[in-house]
Amino acid sequence: MTIRDIIAAQSAGLEPEAFQNAIVEGMTRALLRDAAPPCLLRAPTGSGKTFMISRVLEAVSAARPTVWLWFVPFVNLVQQTEDALAANCAGLVPVMLSRGRNQDARAGMVLLSTAQGVARARDRNTGYNADGDDDTRTLAAFVARARVQGLSIGLVVDEAHIGLDKTTEFGKLAHWLNADFLIMATATPKDERLLEFLQQAGKSAFESFAASRDEVVGARLNKRYIEAVVNDDGSLGEAVDSDDLLPVQEWLRASKPAG
């Protein structure tokens, strides 16, 4: 570890809600079975998916020394995830994949990246062993060294319905990695696509853990009605409460051409 990898959390640590505790304990038990099933966390936005998964990683790593690779779909989520891990799990060591792969693997290490950052056909064609040099270790070399050290490999995929497809480059990387532990998180589950991926990867059907919107609202973690704003350029804007969005909706209705 270097000074650059000592993360000062920008957010406060959280205390788990009852439904979060139940999910963390259930998923941890499942992963620590002799044959760990893939685990899917279904939870709405604002439920604390990152928090729950981080607690699972910490518990599993304490029982079975594991190094984790955690992939998110968007760049802005990398630092958010790093901060959440630093704030809530003293037993985990979050580090960007680009730096962490050059370090010695150790239990509780969590390498963070976007899925796009590792999903390239060029790398796949060389067994993910193409971008190394005297100063940079390849992903394949890092994983091999971790296994030689006796560490298990864990894979976390945020918004799994986007990336875990047997036809995508990231899906092919996940298949190649053949992780000992697989955790998938999504607010928009697409079971058929995930099952096809798992079957091709030779893995069992996933075990599902769910948080309902009512549980999340009851814990005051989220409001009952949330909508997203789509910008003029088609990009997704910030999620907002529907009460705040009503004036905008009325304006749009009034501005719509008759026809």
Q: CB–CB of 210/43 below 8 Å?
A: yes
The partner residues of 207 in beta bridges, in order of sequence, read 39
Q: What are the residues whose beta carbons fall under 8 Å from the beta carbon of 43, sequence distance 6 or more? A: 23, 49, 52, 185, 187, 210, 211, 216
pLDDT band at 42 (very low <50, low <70, confident <90, very high): confident
Structure tokens at 81: 């995830």
Mean pLDDT score across all residues of the chain: 80
Angle, helices 169-177 vs 191-200, to 10°: value is 50
Q: Which of 225, 79, 64, 69 is nearest to 143 (CA)?
A: 69
**Composition of the chain by helix, strand, coil, percent to 5:** 40, 20, 40
Q: CB–CB of 54/88 below 8 Å?
A: yes
> What pLDDT score was predicted for residue 159?
82
What burial class does residue 37 get, using C-beta atoms within 10 Å of its C-beta: 0-12 exposed, 13-18 middle, 19+ buried? middle
Q: What are the residues whose beta carbons fall under 8 Å from the beta carbon of 161, sequence distance 6 or more? A: 186, 188, 189, 190, 193, 194
Angle, helices 49-63 vs 18-31, to 10°: value is 40
> What pLDDT score was predicted for residue 194?
77
Number of C-beta neighbours around residue 126 at 10 A: 14
Pairing of the two strands 236-241 and 226-230: antiparallel
CATH class for domain 3-218? alpha beta
Domain(s) of CATH 3.40.50.300: residues in the chain:
3-218
> What pLDDT score was predicted for residue 18?
83
The partner residues of 185 in beta bridges, in order of sequence, read 41, 158
Element (H, E) at 121: helix 121-125
pLDDT top residue among 111 and 119: 111
- The region of weakest confidence among 114-118, 129-133, 255-259 is 255-259
Q: What's the longest Cα–Cα distance across the chain?
A: 69
Q: CB–CB of 208/23 below 8 Å?
A: no
> What pLDDT score was predicted for residue 104?
94
The partner residues of 183 in beta bridges, in order of sequence, read 39, 156
pLDDT digits (tens, 9 = 90+) for 131-150: 777 788 999 999 999 999 99
Question: How far is 2 from 5, CA to CA, in rounded Å?
Answer: 5
Q: Could you give the percent of the chain with pLDDT greater than 70?
A: 76
> What pLDDT score was predicted for residue 95?
96
For residue 92, pLDDT beyond 90: yes
pLDDT digits (tens, 9 = 90+) for 205-250: 788 898 777 766 665 665 444 444 445 554 444 444 433 333 333 3
> What pLDDT score was predicted for residue 144?
96
Question: How far is 23 from 21, CA to CA, in rounded Å?
Answer: 5
For residue 254, pLDDT beyond 60: no
For residue 255, pLDDT beyond 60: no
